[in-house]
Amino acid sequence: AQSVTQLDSQVPVFEEAPVELRCNYSSSVSVYLFWYVQYPNQGLQLLLKYLSGSTLVKGINGFEAEFNKSQTSFHLRKPSVHISDTAEYFCAVKSGYSTLTFGKGTMLLVSP
Amino acid sequence: DGGITQSPKYLFRKEGQNVTLSCEQNLNHDAMYWYRQDPGQGLRLIYYSQIVNDFQKGDIAEGYSVSREKKESFPLTVTSAQKNPTAFYLCASTAGGRSTDTQYFGPGTRLTVL
């Protein structure tokens, strides 16, 4: 079985500050990891994904994430956030023939 | 433009009525999925289909039904047996069933049962 834990339900931050959204996963086999963003009343959009290779993955809108196998983590980072980054962010894991499992989400609140 | 459409965006129904949510994709994707989203719960898988005329239950299939008669369409029926149907429903698709395939999402339908 696989699972995802997003450690923070909300992360408040000021504009132009750095941010890290934390994600830990559990799986007994090799995994593929994803971060999605959801703006209010919209569907999800892929930010980035880790399939294999380099553990540092760069995505859209200046976001990046690092896969850490020993800590079973895939934290999302951005060096300087904008008001427009205010949204809910979901971490997801897939392994083997399983379907995608999502975390409960982290609401990023960017204020001026 | 290729993508996934869900209609309607907002839907209101009386308790005890069945309701069908539409999902259409023109991405030529083989696999399609239905998720339910509740505040603070993330996304939970209701049903998925990897090929026409075949579908599998997800984690919370009770009170829901689906069909996959055409590759591009995967409608979801919320039946009166679903105890708490008010939620945001998201449809998604992938090119195939491989673990590395990215899921693409529709804009969602917000269902409110009065």
**Structural tokens at position A97:** 């023939």
DSSP-derived 3-state class of residue A60: helix
B111 touches chain A (CB under 8 A): no
Residue in A closest to B10 by C-alpha: A41
Q: Please give the pLDDT value at position B1.
A: 63
Residues pairing with B81 in the sheet = none
Closest CA to B86 of B21, B24, B7, B32: B21
Reported as a single tens digit per residue, the pLDDT across B102-112 is 899 999 999 99
CB atoms A99 and B43 under 8 Å: no
Torsion of CA A36, B21, B65, A98, to 10 degrees: -10
User: How far off is chain A from B106, nearest CA to CA, in Å?
Assistant: 5
Reported as a single tens digit per residue, the pLDDT across A55-90 is 999 999 999 999 999 999 999 999 999 999 999 999
Name which of A44, A95, A101 to mutate to probe chain B: the one with the most chain B Cβ atoms within 10 A of its Cβ: A44
Reported as a single tens digit per residue, the pLDDT across A7-57 is 999 999 999 999 999 999 998 788 899 999 999 889 999 999 999 888 999
CA distance linking residue B95 with residue B86, whole number of Å: 30
- Please report the beta strands in B1-114, taking only residues with DSSP state E, as ranges in sequence order: 4-7, 10-13, 19-25, 31-38, 42-51, 54-57, 64-66, 76-78, 87-94, 104-105, 109-113
CA-angle at A41, arms to B4 and B10, nearest 5°: 75
CA distance linking residue A50 with residue A31, whole number of Å: 9
Average per-residue pLDDT for chain A:
94
A94 touches chain B (CB under 8 A): yes
CB atoms B45 and A100 under 8 Å: yes
Closest CA to B92 of B54, B10, B9, B36: B36
User: How far off is chain B from A34, nearest CA to CA, in Å?
Assistant: 9
User: How far off is chain A from B15, nearest CA to CA, in Å?
Assistant: 23
Minimal Cβ distance to B43: which of A46, A96, A102? A102
Name which of B43, B101, B110 to mutate to probe chain A: the one with the most chain A Cβ atoms within 10 A of its Cβ: B43
